[in-house]
Structure 1
Amino acid sequence: MTPPVPDADESLPGPAWWRVLIVALVAVVWALASHHASSSENPPAWGAVLALTPASIALALALWRLPRRWMGVGAIALQAGLLLAGWPWLQTQAALLFLVEQLGVYILLALFFGRSLKGPGESLVTQMARRVHGGVLSPAQLRYTRQVTLAWTLFFLGIALVSLLLFLLVPVAIWSTFANLLAGPLIGLMFVAEFLCRRLVLAGEDQTTIADAVRAWKAHNASNAHKAP
């Protein structure tokens, strides 16, 4: 099948590459800062701020969208009050806060992939593959994309389990090295491994690239955002 031809804007380097570079630099700085804050014997207060900020913003945005605005405002005020009340303890628990945040992300991602395997509907990766292939998939592609959805589900659950066990069983510096410095590259390695596996399993049938997969992921998320009330 002929791969989709990118639009003219997509084929040009420039702003898109700058955005990728900026995101990559921010991710590296964030990982190094998280590792430093988590592995320090005397955790800096900014480490707790770093760990709490993403979850706090996400929760505040969700509360703001409650049907009754006064409920959202009240819940956000309660959230802020709890953070202020617990701050003397929270600022000394950077590693625990990063653990909870990361476990939450990995478990949510596992649920995001895994729940699409239930019932007669198509799996998440199958849905994205249809976008790349113009809506037409062969039986082999259907089987493979469902298996990849399961693989990503198990991968995220495995990352969460390993992180939790390391946090409980080894010095915090070792856990932090895995959780903050190695987990991200492992996700990237999973993308590459799946791409190479697809080339072997679907040889001569699938000519898509990792960039096609990223565009399909963005399109899927955008479609879900439009459907949301």
Structure 2
Amino acid sequence: MSLSPGQLLRGLAIVVFIAAWAFLAHTGSAGEGSGDLSVLLGVAPVVTALGLLLWRSSHPALTGAGILAMLGGLAWYWPTLRENIALLFFIQHLGTNLALGTLFGRSLLGSGEALITQLARAVHQGELSERKRRYTRRATLAWTLFFLSNALISTVLWLFAPHDVWSVFANLLSAPLLAAMFIGEHIWRANVLPPEERPSIAQVARAYRMRNQQKAPATDLDTPQPPANPS
């Protein structure tokens, strides 16, 4: 399937953004460049995640107080963060991989379905072959091991290697490793599943959004809610 010029431009913009972020994170971890910019890059993911959680709160006072507390804490600790930029990026990298590893891994525990199995079921509107269930569970395990391995390697390099070496792995190689994992899973999927059981990235993204919408609590439990549009 050919891509439109708009899709190509968006893809190129994403690649440039990721490359610039990785370069700035690497130089910041090495003590080069603007300290304030490096701190901003280091705290941006956490601040964004916390901000979104607070924004979704149904209590405006709690949202406002939380945002003010977060901004106040940043202002208070900003000088300390500027003196520990490499540690800040280490915590960011470690926390991200542990969080993603936990997200995938915890779905493998108990009697529930694996995360990728849940997404596949949403894409195929509840119908999955045994072959598809087996593949999606193994793929969930593969992604769990990928993220946890990243966290382990990052920790070992941080503790026992020069920080420049750690930064190459954590900041410069993270995106290529993630891309390689996606490519590897795509090749694996193409070899074990027929075409009709291989959804596109857009279908998976739509299924993930639908899954999150279905998990969100209804605003009024007494009012019947319309079913989600599966298209």
Q: How does 1:1-229 map to 2 (within 5 A)?
A: 12-40=3-31, 44-133=35-124, 135-202=126-193, 205-206=194-195, 212-227=199-214, 228-229=216-217
Distance 2:189 2:48 in 1: 37
Higher relative contact order, structure no. (Cα contacts within 8 Å, ≥ 6 residues apart): 1
CA contact (8 A) 1:34 1:50 kept: yes
* Contact 1:129 1:216 (C-alpha < 8 Å) held by counterparts: no
Q: Alpha-carbon deviation of 1:128?
A: 2.7
Unaligned runs of 5+ in 2: 218-231
Separation of aligned partners in 2, 1:188 and 1:179 = 14
Q: Is the 8 A contact 1:43 1:92 kept in 2?
A: no
Q: Using the TM superposition, name which of 173-182 and 16-25 deviates more.
A: 16-25
- 2:44 corresponds to which letter in structure 1? T
CA distance in 1, matches of 2:155, 2:65: 33
In the alignment, what sits opposite 1:3? none
1:135, distance to aligned residue in structure 2 (A): 4.2
Q: Per-residue CA shift, 1:1-51, capped at 9, x if unaligned?
A: xxxxxxxxx855121221111111101111111111112268723111111
TM-score (norm 1): 0.84
Q: CA deviation at 1:88?
A: 1.2
Unmatched 5+ stretches in structure 1: 1-9
> How many pairs are equivalent?
216
Residue equivalent to 2:228:
none
Kept in 1, the 8 Å contact 2:123–2:204? The answer is no
User: C-alpha distance in 2, partners of 1:196/1:69?
Assistant: 47
In the TM superposition, residue 120 of structure 1 has moved relative to its aligned partner by 2.8
SS in 2 for 1:117: coil
| 2: CA distance, partners of 1:57 / 1:199 | 36
What is the DSSP-based 3-state SS (H/G/I as helix, E as strand, rest coil) of the residue aligned with 1:100?
A: helix
- Tell me the amino acid that sits aligned with residue 215 of structure 1: A
CA distance in 2, matches of 1:208, 1:99: 38
Q: Deviations over 1:157-216 (max 9, x none)?
A: 1101111111111111000000011111111111111222233334xx34666xx44223
SS at match of 1:166: helix
Q: How far is the alpha carbon of 1:75 from its aligned partner?
A: 1.8
